[in-house]
Structure 1
Amino acid sequence: MTNPTELLHRRYGVNSFHTDIPWNDCIDTLLSHRSIRAYLSESLPSGTLETLIAAAQSASTSSNLQTWSVVAVESSNRKEKLSQLANNQAHIRQCPLFLVWLADLARLTHIAESRGLPHQGLDYLEMFLMAAIDAALAAQNAVVAAESLGLGTVYIGALRNRPEAVAQVLNLPPHIFAVFGLCVGYADRTIETAIKPRLPQSAVLHRETYQLSEQDEAIALYNQVMKAFYNSQKMNVPGDWTEHSAKRVAFAESLSGRDRLREALRNLGFELR
């Protein structure tokens, strides 16, 4: 296991809090997370996929409705198509296993209709939100499991740029939406990937009530931390984190096609009342 003080320093980019809790492999794995965008072509051991899905299914699910599914993509041809729909990201093609996590209301629609029962509740925004949350919780369990096995991962939100096209590639019926993808595989160790610092806890941890203006100092510190991080990684990122983040949300065009998400969801069968 990594020294806790050293690992916390990497996660925040500065000396952080001291902890007296007993350190363990689970916390070590969580705090060591980094996004991997370069993979070896090495195949995964037999049973890896099923183990990751068992971990995913062990996540909490609202009302035990289990409103998520996942498509495991290993075909080079299909990974190529999905890569093209997600800004042509090479790591989608490289990884041996690409998992597409789905908000799935088709299953509940099907079982209700098979028994002649109404299912109007599925037409409301709450149920789509529930399904998206369920998918996220399941996927994160799978990520932790994968990283505990020495595998690398990275989420691919760009699948939401072209939702209808992704649905066509995966043969998704109505009432299913691809929330994000996930690359899984062995990292190419010749390409070093550092732990990316996060905001100080004083920006995200609020005690009793939420405080917005008091985050200014923490954000200013984080801007400096991220500048140092980008320089250390030789990443040409203009401006600081605040400027970079503001540009990502400045205009509808900044959303890379996701500004039409409501329209896409309705095209995929979600009423969103």
Structure 2
Amino acid sequence: MMIDEFVTYETAVTQTLNQHVSVRSFLDKPVSDEMLHAILNAARRSPTSSNMQTYSIIVVRDPETRQKLAVLAGNQKHIEECDVFVGFLADLNRLGIASEMHGETLAKSLETTLVSTVDAALVGMSVQTAAESFGLGAVMIGGMRNQPHKVAELLGFPSGVYMVFGMSIGWPAADPPAVLKPRLPESLVIHHERYDPTDPISRIAEYDATLADYYGQRNQNTAAWSGPIAQRLNKPRRPHLRQTLEAMGFHFD
């Protein structure tokens, strides 16, 4: 594959993506309803499997509700401190209703669970990109899966709905960093034609060194990539999740 070295392929979208950082500190400044409406409705044009649209979006501005969500997510204060919290939901409830309208029963399966989760993830990514294009900051919150049944109770979800992740959105309290956190090497992530398993250890070690240098220059006493991954994933995370989601109306077979 030949790349024209003299052509710069860049658009407003790629600029926004290339400037992405997670923002957890926000100004006490409101996000207007009109701006939020524009962001959410642009995101609704995201791809969705077979036009099933197996997701929903929930917007939470009420401070008391956001405080409770912060606790459920593991005491993540930025959920309280952001101007608006948005949850991205896998939603099979609406498919069940559509099926019943035609005398059918929705056959829930691993496939429908995956489709609804992927749909929610796609629209969530679009929301974050759109929000950042307006100059807003945001951070995704996987901690909403810590206690998905309690989140569902708090926000009134019917059976067949769970929050895949949440997002704190607001105006950033600080300017973005001059140097962004490095990602894994392109050669380790992007494959052409066939998956390339060649020598991942040296490239992971190289990334560990690059990331350690990034943290060191910022006086952050944070370990590099592979060590925290090994420690974090040496036992199953959220082992209750399958049983909880099955009780909430999702299937894994």
- How many angstroms apart in 2 are the aligned matches of 1:165 and 1:31? 36
The letter for the 2-side match of 1:251 is K
Structure 1 spans left out of the alignment, 5+ residues:
1-17
The equivalent of 2:234 in structure 1 is 250
Matched, 1:99 2:86: yes
Q: Say whether 1:30 aligns with 2:14.
A: no
Structure 2 counterpart of 1:87 = 74
2:215 paired with 1:235: no
| TM-score, normalised with respect to structure 1 | 0.87
Does the CA-based 8 Å contact 2:21-2:176 persist in structure 1?
A: no
Q: Distance in 2 between matches of 1:152 and 1:194?
A: 17
Amino acid in structure 1 at the alignment position of 2:242? R
Q: Which runs of 5+ in 2 are unaligned?
A: none
C-alpha RMSD of the superposition? 1.8
Relative to structure 2, which stretch is displaced further, 209-218 or 147-156?
209-218
Deviation at 1:109, TM superposition (A): 0.6
Match of 1:3 in 2: none
AA partner of residue 181 (structure 2):
K
Q: Deviations over 1:35-71 (max 9, x none)?
A: 0010112111231221111121111110000000011
TM-score (norm 2): 0.93
Q: Is the 8 A contact 1:99 1:181 kept in 2?
A: yes
TM superposition shift of 1:193: 8.2
Q: Report the Cα offset of residue 152 of structure 1.
A: 0.2
Distance 1:265 1:23, change over 3 A: same
Say whether 1:53 aligns with 2:33: no
Where 1:173 maps in the other structure, the secondary structure is coil
Q: Which residue of 2 aligns with 1:263?
A: 243
| Paired residues for 1:113-128 under 5 Å | 113-120=100-107, 123-128=108-113
Select 2:50's aligned residue among 60, 63, 71: 63
For residues 169 and 41 of structure 1, the distance between their equivalents in structure 2, rounded to whole angstroms, comes to 25
Q: Deviations over 1:127-149 (max 9, x none)?
A: 11001111111111111110010
Q: What is the aligned residue count?
A: 250
The one of 180, 184, 187 equivalent to 1:202 is 187
Q: Distance in 1 between matches of 2:244 and 2:65?
A: 21
Once residues 44 and 179 of structure 2 are traced to their aligned partners in structure 1, the CA distance between those partners, rounded to angstroms, is 30
Distance (Å, rounded) in 1 between the aligned partners of 2:242 and 2:152: 15
- Percent identity, aligned pairs only? 35
> Residues 149-185 of structure 1, C-alpha deviation per residue, up to 9 Å, x if partnerless?
0000100001111111111111111000100001111
With over 3 angstroms needed to count, the CA separation of the structure-2 counterparts of 1:114 and 1:155, relative to structure 1, is: same
Give the Cα separation in 2 of the matches to 1:177 and 1:184.
20
Higher helix share: 1
Question: What's the offset of the Cα at 1:117?
Answer: 1.8
List structure 1 runs of 4+ shifted beyond 3 angstroms: 190-194
Q: State the AA in 1 paired with 2:40.
A: I
C-alpha separation in 2, matches of 1:133 and 1:190: 32
Q: What is the CA distance between 1:192 and its match in structure 2?
A: 5.5
**Shift in Å at residue 194 of structure 1?**
5.3
Paired amino acid for 1:80: Q
